[in-house]
């Protein structure tokens, strides 16, 4: 049966949670604010009413302990989902993540499964500044034993969250706040999308843009502009899973186009974009027609004032300029383009 | 038959104490054998020996049931041995062999035997405590009467995560036994350099958590107190903090005495050694009517077991190279 209805990213996450909690009584969801009146921007709406306070509960402000708590519940028969309203808060949990959770299967000789999902949301805009806007996915992906998922579209958010919940390894599931309003056709059935597989968001033969999370949206916008203004066909690759990484799809695309731009939603230095650039140079060296270009956050802290913040974040314009430079094209005029379309729905303050 | 011609009640007490002694002796002598073989430089793993705290490990583990879960630290040889009575996989693990507990991948600091309920042991101070609390939540959800015990040193009570975990366990009234093994030392650092309060038992008692404390080297006393705690927890009474004092005979890590290091005196050790948990238990057994020849037989049996396990470990093949990447995901 073909699905004909659309959902927002937020609704897609909510639907995945409801369906998985209905399917498996071992699944529970917890974290600061999970059952409160705001319901993690609506993504946990209806859960406490449907599944009760034992399977959907708030916690003390003890991110570190509550992360270890998730590990303990996971190795003792349950399937926890721990939620953080910001990725930045997850940094309080690094000891549990890096020293306990990541190595648990290994240190038990494979005797312990760790079916734990950690959801965390990237903030942006309206003065979020430097402690409410981090992605730092490369930090998590650096550690063996952790899976890191960053869906861009509603369909992927639902399908990948279902897979993450059913997975027997720890999965860090990173959502971008601005993507919460993205709309896409999403199947009503709980259809799992396998972890570790990239998705071609748009096919093209001229330039490959690897776009991560929100930057996938910017990459699609840039692809529209490049097509309209220059007739350039961009292939937009969404890795979807940062670790394990689908290098095959990326290599195949770059092998075809010979040009690669990595648009990451993070700093470049020692980041995921550096990893992609290295992998592409290793696998596509002879076929590259230009050096890999990387686009990401300015290597500073995210400022509050809007005009400064604009300079901190990259966008479709940067991707267009990078492609033009790569292909030796004259810079096109873009002042009439409508950028940051989703931000218009974001009214703050959080 | 060690328990020969005694009244039924005395018999039960004697049996219990023999069981406790068997475990105490196993731990002490396994650890002594490690001390003996360590200089050969084949057991390449940092060992934090249980010598001096056997009564705690034996007493608490004996009070637990097989369905209960246990979490520990890098100093968990005694917990493993008390829980399993097994030494083949134990020594093979210390020697990094294929036949080891985790096929030679974890060494001394991360003993793990989920099939015996020993879930996770951590070498980062305090880090297993919240994990135990989460496991206790799962036990509570299952309502199968199982509980969780987590062992940690007094240094762990200075970690923020201890207080976070204690708070959560008290808030959610989870079936968890916090076992604080207090040797008054964080490696070399004494309590007066580490604490802004006088009495941990008093501080913890402000939480909705039962607090029990002992200053004993008698395994039976630890056992009986742990039984009370375990029963209360199993009945749904919420968490319990069991604070137990002991004296670390050897250096923090390694197999040597370190009374010449200047941070403590041999006299202090001598005072504790007068009530050494193994000697104490053996003396008690004699008083309870156990025959010397039977005790010698029990000890020889354990000695043989340990010697056999060490020989077996040394003969076993080294850990397989495929283990390097196995079980990462």
Which chain B residue has its CA at the smallest distance from A82's CA?
B134
Is the confidence at residue A341, as pLDDT, over 80? no
Cα–Cα distance for residue pair B184/B262, rounded to 1 Å: 15
Is the confidence at residue A1, as pLDDT, over 60? no
Query: Phi/psi of residue B111, each to 5°?
Result: -55, 135
Q: How many domains does chain A have?
A: 2
Q: Is residue A111 part of a domain?
A: yes
- Give every CB contact of residue A214 below 8 A, 6+ residues apart in sequence: A122, A124, A152, A176, A178, A179, A265
Q: What pLDDT sits at residue B7?
A: 83
Least Cα distance to B273 among B262, B257, B289 occurs for B257
CA distances, B3 to each of A73, A102, A147, B19, B295 (Å): 43, 49, 57, 12, 11
Percent of chain A surpassing pLDDT 90: 92
Q: How many CA atoms lie within 13 A of A91 on its CB side?
A: 13
Q: Which residues of B touch A72 (CB under 8 A)?
A: 71, 119, 130-138, 148
Tens-place pLDDT, residues A112-129: 999 999 999 999 988 899
The answer to whether the peptide bond before residue A349 is cis (omega within 30 degrees of 0) is: yes
Answer for the pair A99, B130: CB distance below 8 angstroms, yes or no: no
Is the confidence at residue A3, as pLDDT, over 60? no
Is the confidence at residue A345, as pLDDT, over 70? no
Token digits of residue B249: 């005979």
Q: Which residues of B touch A105 (CB under 8 A)?
A: 327-329
Cα–Cα distance for residue pair B7/B206, rounded to 1 Å: 45
- Which parts of chain B have pLDDT scores under 70? 1-5
Same domain, A276 and A233: yes
Same domain, A93 and A217: no
Same domain, A21 and A75: yes
Domain final residue pick, A128, A150, A185? A185
What CATH number should be reported for the domain holding residue A178? 3.40.50.970
Tens-place pLDDT, residues A45-54: 999 999 999 9
Tell me the pairing of strands A6-8 and A183-185: antiparallel
Same domain, A253 and A337: yes
Cα–Cα distance for residue pair B283/B30, rounded to 1 Å: 21
Q: What pLDDT sits at residue A214?
A: 96
Q: What pLDDT sits at residue B2?
A: 62
Same domain, A149 and A281: no
Same domain, A326 and A252: yes
Same domain, A23 and A162: yes
Q: What pLDDT sits at residue A326?
A: 97
In this prediction, residue A348 has a pLDDT band, given cuts at 50, 70 and 90, of: low
Percent of chain B surpassing pLDDT 70: 98
CATH topology of domain B8-247+261-318: Rossmann fold (3.40.50)
Place of tokens 């430097």: A130
Conformational region of residue B149, where left means phi above 0, alpha means psi within -120 to 50, and beta covers everything else: beta
Least Cα distance to A198 among A132, A248, A233, A234 occurs for A248
Same domain, A207 and A250: yes
Q: Is the ipTM of this complex over 0.90?
A: yes
* Rg of chain B (C-alpha set): 20
- CB-based contact B131 A95, cutoff 8 Å: no
Query: Phi/psi of residue B229, each to 5°?
Result: -65, -45
Q: Is residue A350 part of a domain?
A: no
Which of A59, A68, A172 should be substituted to probe chain B, the one whose Cβ sees the most B Cβ atoms within 10 Å?
A: A68
Q: Is residue A193 part of a domain?
A: no
In this prediction, residue A192 has a pLDDT band, given cuts at 50, 70 and 90, of: very high
Q: Is residue A313 part of a domain?
A: yes
Same domain, A154 and A288: no
Least Cα distance to A92 among A54, A117, A133, A64 occurs for A64
Same domain, A150 and A255: no
Which chain A residue has its CA at the smallest distance from B115's CA?
A111
Average pLDDT of chain A is 95
Token digits of residue A71: 């590990």
Token digits of residue A289: 């027609």
- CB-based contact B133 A68, cutoff 8 Å: yes
Strand partners, B212: B242
Tens-place pLDDT, residues A215-255: 999 999 999 999 999 999 999 999 999 999 999 999 999 99
Answer for the pair A118, A90: CB distance below 8 angstroms, yes or no: yes
Q: What pLDDT sits at residue B5?
A: 64
CA angle B264, B268, B269 (to 5 degrees): 95
Active site residues of A: 132
Using the Cα atoms of residue A296, residue A301, residue A304 and residue A306 in order, give the sign of their dihedral.
negative
Domain boundaries, chain B: 8-247+261-318
What CATH number should be reported for the domain holding residue A225? 3.40.50.920
Average pLDDT of chain B is 96
Chain B interface residues facing chain A, Cβ-Cβ under 8 Å?
A: 69, 71, 101-103, 105-106, 110, 112, 114-115, 119-120, 122, 124, 127-139, 141-142, 148, 160-161, 164-165, 167-168, 171, 326-329
Cα maximum dimension of chain A: 61
Domain final residue pick, A185, A209, A231? A185
pTM confidence score: 0.96
> Domain range holding A340?
199-345
Domain final residue pick, A161, A185, A209? A185
Q: Is residue A191 part of a domain?
A: no
Same domain, A98 and A210: no
Answer for the pair A159, A166: CB distance below 8 angstroms, yes or no: no
Q: How many beta-carbon pairs under 8 angstroms link A with B?
A: 141
Neighbour count for residue A286 (Cβ, 10 Å): 7
Average pLDDT over residues A64-91: 98
Q: What pLDDT sits at residue B1?
A: 55
Cα–Cα distance for residue pair B250/B255, rounded to 1 Å: 7
Q: What pLDDT sits at residue A344?
A: 64
CA distance, residue A347 to nearest chain B CA (Å): 35
Helix (H) or strand (E) holding A48: helix A47-51
């Amino acid at each position: 049966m073909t699905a004909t209805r659309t959902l927002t990213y937020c609704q897609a996450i909510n639907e995945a949670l409801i369906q998985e909690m209905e399917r498996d009584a071992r699944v529970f969801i917890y974290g600061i604010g999970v059952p409160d009146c705001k319901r993690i921007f609506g993504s946990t709406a209806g859960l406490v009413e449907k599944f009760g306070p034992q399977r959907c509960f708030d916690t003390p402000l003890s991110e570190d302990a509550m992360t270890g708590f998730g590990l303990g519940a996971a190795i003792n028969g349950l399937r926890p989902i721990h939620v953080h309203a910001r990725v930045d808060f997850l940094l309080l949990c690094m000891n549990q993540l890096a020293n306990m959770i990541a190595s648990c299967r290994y240190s038990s000789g494979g005797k312990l499964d760790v079916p734990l999902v950690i959801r965390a949301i990237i903030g942006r805009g309206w003065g979020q500044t430097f402690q409410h806007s981090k992605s730092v996915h490369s930090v998590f992906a650096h550690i063996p034993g952790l899976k890191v998922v960053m869906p861009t579209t509603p369909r992927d958010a639902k399908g990948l969250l279902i897979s993450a919940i059913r997975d027997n390894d720890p999965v860090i599931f990173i959502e971008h706040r601005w993507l919460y309003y993205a709309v896409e056709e999403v199947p009503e059935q709980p259809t799992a999308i396998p972890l570790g597989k990239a998705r071609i968001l748009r096919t093209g033969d001229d330039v490959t843009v690897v776009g991560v999370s929100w930057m996938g949206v910017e990459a699609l916008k840039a692809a529209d502009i490049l097509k309209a203004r220059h007739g350039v066909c961009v292939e937009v690759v969404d890795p979807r899973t940062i670790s394990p990484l689908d290098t095959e799809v990326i290599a195949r695309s770059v092998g075809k186009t010979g040009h690669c731009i990595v648009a990451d939603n993070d700093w470049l230095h020692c980041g995921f974009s550096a990893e992609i650039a290295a992998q592409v140079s290793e696998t596509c060296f002879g076929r590259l027609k230009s050096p890999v270009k990387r686009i990401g956050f300015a290597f500073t802290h995210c400022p509050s004032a809007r005009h400064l913040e604009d300079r901190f974040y990259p966008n479709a314009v940067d991707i267009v300029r990078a492609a033009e430079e790569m292909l030796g094209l004259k810079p096109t005029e873009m002042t009439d383009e409508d950028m940051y379309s989703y931000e218009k729905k974001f009214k703050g303050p959080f | 038959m060690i328990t020969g011609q005694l009244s039924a009640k005395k018999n039960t007490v004697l049996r219990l104490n023999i069981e406790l002694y068997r475990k105490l002796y196993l731990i002490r002598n396994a650890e002594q054998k490690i001390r003996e073989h360590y200089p050969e430089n084949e057991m390449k793993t940092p060992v934090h020996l249980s010598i001096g705290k056997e009564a705690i490990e034996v007493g608490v583990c004996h009070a637990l049931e097989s369905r209960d879960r246990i979490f520990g630290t890098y100093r968990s040889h005694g917990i493993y041995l008390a829980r399993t009575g097994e030494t083949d996989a134990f020594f093979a693990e210390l020697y990094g062999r294929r036949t080891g507990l985790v096929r030679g991948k974890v060494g001394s600091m991360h003993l793990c035997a989920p099939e015996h309920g020993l879930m996770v042991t951590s070498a980062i101070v305090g880090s297993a405590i919240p994990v135990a609390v989460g496991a206790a939540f799962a036990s509570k959800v299952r309502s199968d009467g199982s509980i969780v015990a987590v062992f940690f040193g007094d240094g762990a009570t200075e970690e923020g995560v201890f207080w976070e975990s204690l708070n959560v366990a008290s808030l959610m009234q989870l079936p968890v036994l916090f076992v604080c093994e207090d040797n008054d030392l964080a490696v070399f650092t004494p309590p007066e350099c580490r604490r802004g309060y006088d009495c941990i038992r008093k501080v913890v008692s402000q939480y909705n958590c039962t607090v029990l404390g002992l200053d004993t080297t008698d395994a039976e006393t630890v056992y009986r107190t742990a039984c009370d705690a375990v029963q209360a927890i199993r009945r749904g009474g919420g968490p319990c903090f069991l604070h137990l004092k002991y004296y670390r005979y050897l250096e923090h890590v390694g197999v040597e005495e370190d009374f010449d290091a200047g941070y403590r005196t041999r006299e202090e050790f001598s005072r504790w050694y007068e009530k050494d948990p193994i000697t104490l238990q053996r003396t008690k057994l004699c008083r309870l009517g156990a025959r010397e020849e039977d005790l010698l037989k029990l000890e020889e049996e354990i000695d043989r077991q340990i010697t056999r396990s060490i020989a077996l470990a040394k003969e076993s093949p080294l850990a397989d190279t495929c283990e390097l990447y196995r079980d990462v995901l």
